[in-house]
Structure 1
Amino acid sequence: MIHPWMPTSPCGTGCLGGQDATVHRLLRILRVTAVVAVVFLSLVSLLFLPFVGGRGRNWLTRAIFRAVLLAMGVRLVVHGEIPGPGRGALVVNNHTSWLDIVAVNAVRPMRAVAKKDIASWPVLGWLVTAAGSVYVDRENIRTLPGTVARLADSLRGGSMVNVTPEGTTWCGLTHGRFRSALFQAAIDGGVPVLPIALRFRQNGGTTTAPAFIGDETIIDSVRRTAALKGLVLEVHVLAEIAPGRAADRRELATLAERAVDEVLAPASLPAENHWTSSVVEVAR
């Protein structure tokens, strides 16, 4: 059912450019083969998750997500640091690609709020479900209060939970408005909001090539992304927004959106050879 609350994006296949550098067909095949291998290994690893403890699960989950990036030829560069476990926080980021959730969990495994159809995706769906994700039915607005309540309980219990408040993917040159509904969970849970800005770069500039938009399937997107040469995914971990700083969920969403905007604005793009010492390269 389509309703006014359901987020939509104007981005389509016309936003994908078409002049992006690509690798040889053989390397594309090798990358896809490597992703299939990660699929198999991740299935095997799920059998061991109940027996390795919290620290072991975090290590194993992060290793699998990093393996996905390596298989796809994506170089992950992290600016800043996501706090360690033990304290709840609502982690919010702009949403461009299926690689977003891979990147966040490659840095710091955490629970997520995801649309329900992700549960059926190969690899990502299994891993996200195993991580204890909360699924939201975007087509049924009546389920939203229950989702917010479950999310607040998780945050209150000390979990970090990743949310994409735009509710859908955009091309990467721009992003959508941060919708306020799920920010209520941070207020109810009494936890901070941690904004993260994600940006895809190729040949020193921002690229839309990895965007998961339009009517393509996850398989189509994986094949197209595997063909890209020199893809870099930047993760900018921004300052926390402390509990009580915002008067309500709408102001809280606005503060988080503005923080992400400051990084993604064209004037703030860093030169390729002028990254600061806070940059940590975690995958090649």
Structure 2
Amino acid sequence: MSVWTPSAPCTPRACIEQRGRATAVPRAVARITAVVALMLAGIALTPFGRRVPAEWVRRWCRSIVRAAGVRVRITGADAPTGGLLLVANHISWLDIPLLAAVRPARMVAKSDIRDWPVAGPLAARGGALFIDRDRLRALPDTVARIADALRAGQAVGVFPEGSTWCGRAQGSFRRAVFQAALDAHVPVQPVRLRYRIAGTASTAPAFIGEDSLLASVWRVAMTRGLVAEVEVGEAIPADTHPDRRTLARAAQPSPPPQPDWTHTALVA
């Protein structure tokens, strides 16, 4: 394992727990159909690019998650304009639209996502920065491309753990991508993602180990009462940290406390 190709110890057999009552199969099928329809609509609209208002993109991203039967709760700071590195812990395929719901961004994605049905073409047309994690020599070029996008005033979203975790455990943020924020002199905005059922952490949305995308999507669609919590931290000015190591540590989320529902707003 290298700093560029980390892996998590989480596996479906060891970590996935299906809690609560499952939804009916016809409803689950309807949810998946709605998700696919929304993603196809997104592919159709990608030629319009930046002419689509950012608020429309955020609403569309939230709609994808809600169509899968997951409620969304977003709390915390507002994302600033201009170049911005969005970083978050990584649990599920749902993380991508949730991060874009905070601020539409070019995602850093592993190259094999290109081959995913529906999601692959959508990522490519949306300007994803694909990386070959098997080629460590490609790392400097990837960091340079991210820095160029940041200098151009774009937001770039990345999951610095480099691998998905089940949600009850988490990995360390790899520091390489933070060099791009330092080089471009743009802030880093940390985002904490959690999935819960009735206030208790749920591993049902986790997309880990040898789990297939279809199996993960079906599990989410069959789960009743799932809530995605998106906690947006204050943006961290990159220039306040001397190097990428300390910047990565500052952005690294601490183990999640029990949520205080009195200060949480439900996004309809």
Where in structure 2 are the equivalents of 1:234-273 lying within 5 Å?
Answer: 234-257=229-252, 260-261=253-254, 264-265=255-256, 268-271=257-260
| Post-superposition offset of 1:218 | 1.1
> Could you say which residue in structure 2 is the equivalent of 1:72?
68
- SS of the equivalent of 2:176 reads coil
Question: May I ask how many residue pairs the two structures share in their alignment?
Answer: 267
TM-aligned CA distance change 1:275 to 1:114, over 3 Å: farther
> Could you say which residue in structure 2 is the equivalent of 1:281?
266
Two-structure CA RMSD over aligned residues (Å): 1.9
Is residue 2:175 matched to residue 1:190? no
- SS of the equivalent of 1:235 reads strand
CA contact (8 A) 2:76 2:233 kept: yes
- SS of the equivalent of 1:198 reads strand
> Could you say which residue in structure 2 is the equivalent of 1:216?
211
> For residues 164-200 of structure 1, what are the alpha-carbon distances to aligned partners after superposition, in whole Å with 9 as ceiling and x for unaligned?
0000100001110101011100010111111110000
TM-aligned CA distance change 1:196 to 1:176, over 3 Å: same
TM-score by length of structure 1 reads 0.87
- SS of the equivalent of 2:34 reads helix
Aligned counterparts of 2:65 and 2:202: Cα–Cα separation in 1:
17
| Post-superposition offset of 1:84 | 4.6
Is residue 2:52 matched to residue 1:56? yes
> For residues 83-105 of structure 1, what are the alpha-carbon distances to aligned partners after superposition, in whole Å with 9 as ceiling and x for unaligned?
253x1111100000000011111
> Could you say which residue in structure 1 is the equivalent of 2:27?
27
- SS of the equivalent of 2:32 reads helix
Which deviates more from structure 2 when the two are superposed, residues 106-115 or residues 91-100? Answer: 106-115
Match of 2:88 among 60, 70, 93: 93
Match of 2:78 among 66, 71, 82: 82
| Post-superposition offset of 1:28 | 1.0
Aligned counterparts of 2:177 and 2:3: Cα–Cα separation in 1:
16
- SS of the equivalent of 2:114 reads helix
Structure 2 gaps of 5+ residues are: none
- SS of the equivalent of 1:236 reads strand
| Post-superposition offset of 1:22 | 1.6
Is residue 2:120 matched to residue 1:133? no
Structure 1 gaps of 5+ residues are: none
Letter in 2 for 1:6: T
| Post-superposition offset of 1:6 | 1.5
| Post-superposition offset of 1:109 | 1.1
| Post-superposition offset of 1:246 | 1.5
| Post-superposition offset of 1:239 | 1.4
CA contact (8 A) 1:20 1:209 kept: no
Which deviates more from structure 2 when the two are superposed, residues 61-70 or residues 131-140? Answer: 61-70
- SS of the equivalent of 1:21 reads coil
- SS of the equivalent of 1:38 reads helix
Aligned counterparts of 2:234 and 2:35: Cα–Cα separation in 1:
34
> Could you say which residue in structure 2 is the equivalent of 1:112?
107
Aligned counterparts of 1:3 and 1:84: Cα–Cα separation in 2:
33
Aligned counterparts of 2:265 and 2:205: Cα–Cα separation in 1:
22
Which deviates more from structure 2 when the two are superposed, residues 191-200 or residues 106-115? Answer: 106-115
| Post-superposition offset of 1:29 | 1.6
Aligned counterparts of 1:37 and 1:232: Cα–Cα separation in 2:
22
> Could you say which residue in structure 2 is the equivalent of 1:44?
44
Q: Taking every aligned residue pair, what percent have the same amino acid on both sides?
A: 42
Letter in 2 for 1:229: R
TM-score by length of structure 2 reads 0.92
> For residues 215-268 of structure 1, what are the alpha-carbon distances to aligned partners after superposition, in whole Å with 9 as ceiling and x for unaligned?
1221111111100101111111101211222221111111111xx11xx43xx2
Match of 2:150 among 149, 155, 161: 155
Match of 2:97 among 102, 105, 108: 102
Letter in 1 for 2:173: F
TM-aligned CA distance change 1:21 to 1:4, over 3 Å: same
